[in-house]
Structure 1
Amino acid sequence: MSIELRHLRCFLAIAEESSVTRAAHRLGLTQPAVSRTLAALERQVGTRLVDRSTHHLELTAEGRVFRDKAAAAVAAFDDAMDPTRLRRRPLRLGHAWSALGPYTTPLLRRWEREHPETPLELLRIDDRTAGLARGEVDAAVLRGSVEAPGLVTELLFMEDRVAAVTSDGPLAARARLTLADLASGPVLVNEVSGVTTPALWPAGGRPVSTVTVTNTDDWLTAIAAGRGAGVSVASTAELHPHPGVTYRPLPDAPPVPVLLAHRTTTAHPALPELLALARELTREDS
């Protein structure tokens, strides 16, 4: 037996739904058919991909690695079979938040002027690699250290951190803040795509508690509601203003590296031009 596209789609549905039953409903198949397809796939790859021994279905460690590879393969196939993309294939640039900060608009305008034949799509995807590891984009703007197999990263610039506090709270009255100022109360942590963790603080002065969120919108809402403070980068203050959130400089926090990443395989033909333009724009101020 050889692996076919239907095996990959079936596995991805199971992974996304965390349920064989829901995956079967989504695919319009019977539950036994989905189970047989998964079993055949596992036999072919020679390892268990899904742990069904618990009440909550989970992917095994091998299954999580295979999920990213399967998603990339399916995305590449769908992209190749889309007739509109064959005529004018867009270059998809992912980001989880704040994109390229102050360089975002200049990048988009220069690209449209200099490469009108290739649309540049800026896509926000709440994922540590902004959809790059799953094959949803061709390149991605990432912040902080990112470890993922098959990715190439290039440092574009370093970005200062800022504190984000409730606008009607006492910290908002200060001109600048320190990490110690924030540690006395809860700190909001974006556990999906953020770069702030308790390890940012020294071992003896870490926050009294943390509140986890999964995206920038929820992070802003929680800060505005007074559930805690947050730490982000300077471009967040510019690109994500909120009436209930005040941003203040945080000079004792180390800056964050801003990276442009792409996969080692299936590169978009216009990727070299994007890399060159990003380098040019970000290094003009260096």
Structure 2
Amino acid sequence: MSIELRHLRCFLAIAEEGGVTRAAARLHLTQPSVSRTLAALERHLGVRLADRSTHHFVLTAEGHAFRTRAATAVAAFDAALDTGRTRRRPLRVGHAWSAFGTYTTPLLRRWQERYPDTPLELRRIDDRTAGLARGEVDAALLRGPVEAPGLVTELLLTEPRMAAVPADGPLAARDTLTLADLASQPVMVNTVSGTTTRALWPSHAGPVTTLTVGNTDDWLTAIAAARGVGVTGTSTAAVHPHPGIAYRLLTDAPPLPVHLAWREDSPHAAIPCLVALAHEITAEGGEG
């Protein structure tokens, strides 16, 4: 059996929906046909792409790797058929939690003024590459190190790190904090799209415990409920103010790099314009 583009699209739907049943509904196909497509891919590749049972579905390591390759191939195919309209199709920019921080509104307004024929669409996607590695967006604003293969990155700025603490707790009474001040508290860690790990602290002085969440909303809720504290960039304080959270500057934490990233093999034609405008706005301090 030869593998066709429809097989890749089907697998990506399975991966994104987290199972065969939901993928079949999304694709308007029968569940057995989707299962057969997945099995055919596994036979062709000679590896198991997913561990699945009635109540359990998870991609294997090989499945995650193939997902990236499949998304790249599908995106490249779609781009190849759209060469005459690339400038006019929307430029989809993903982000995991706070877009371009205080520069977001100036970026969107100035882009609309200069490139009205190429809409810029911001999409929040809870994923380490904000959907870029999976082909869901054309570019992404990413914080922290970017290690996904096949991506080109441009450093736009660095953000000071902030502590996020319960607004009614003792740490909120301080003007600034240190990593050591947080180490005695449970530290909330977003394992899906966050940038905070135990490696931020010295090996001999790390937090007593960490609690994991899967997205920014749960991270904010947990800190406001005094389940723990968090570490983030200054953009989070600007984009996600919360009455139950106090943000305080961390004086000894390394700054957080903010990159614009895009796929090397199928860049949107407007990427250079986006890079130039982002640098222009940060140089001006974000004024629109």
Taking structure 1 as the reference length, what is the TM-score of the superposition?
0.89
Structure 1 position 220, deviation (Å): 0.9
Separation in 2, partners of 1:21, 1:179: 45
> May I ask how many residue pairs the two structures share in their alignment?
283
In the alignment, what sits opposite 1:66? 66
In the alignment, what sits opposite 2:102? 102
Within-5 A mapping of 1:113-262: 113-262=113-262
In the alignment, what sits opposite 1:267? 267
Please tell me the residue identity of whatever aligns with 1:267: P
Separation in 1, partners of 2:22, 2:234: 42
Structure 1 position 218, deviation (Å): 1.1
1:62-87 alpha-carbon deviations (Å, 9 max, x no partner): 211111232344456678889xx889
Q: Is the 8 A contact 1:224 1:244 kept in 2?
A: yes
In the alignment, what sits opposite 2:56? 56
1:212-253 alpha-carbon deviations (Å, 9 max, x no partner): 111111111111111011111111111110000011111111
Separation in 2, partners of 1:176, 1:262: 36
Q: Note closer, same or farther for the CA distance 1:87–1:280 as it changes in structure 2 (3 Å cut).
A: closer
Taking structure 2 as the reference length, what is the TM-score of the superposition?
0.88
1:242-285 alpha-carbon deviations (Å, 9 max, x no partner): 00001111111110111110100221111111111112222345
Separation in 2, partners of 1:130, 1:282: 21
1:38-81 alpha-carbon deviations (Å, 9 max, x no partner): 22222333433234599734322221111123234445667888
> Which region of structure 1 is more displaced relative to structure 2, 118-127 or 67-76?
67-76
Partner-residue secondary structure (3-state), 1:262: strand
Separation in 2, partners of 1:137, 1:34: 25
In the alignment, what sits opposite 1:112? 112
Please tell me the residue identity of whatever aligns with 2:216: T
RMSD between aligned residues? 2.5
Separation in 2, partners of 1:212, 1:219: 8
Q: Is the 8 A contact 2:87 2:117 kept in 1?
A: no
Separation in 1, partners of 2:110, 2:20: 47
1:97-125 alpha-carbon deviations (Å, 9 max, x no partner): 21112221221111111111111111111
Separation in 2, partners of 1:140, 1:17: 21
Q: Note closer, same or farther for the CA distance 1:71–1:166 as it changes in structure 2 (3 Å cut).
A: same
Please tell me the residue identity of whatever aligns with 2:94: G
Q: Note closer, same or farther for the CA distance 1:22–1:284 as it changes in structure 2 (3 Å cut).
A: closer
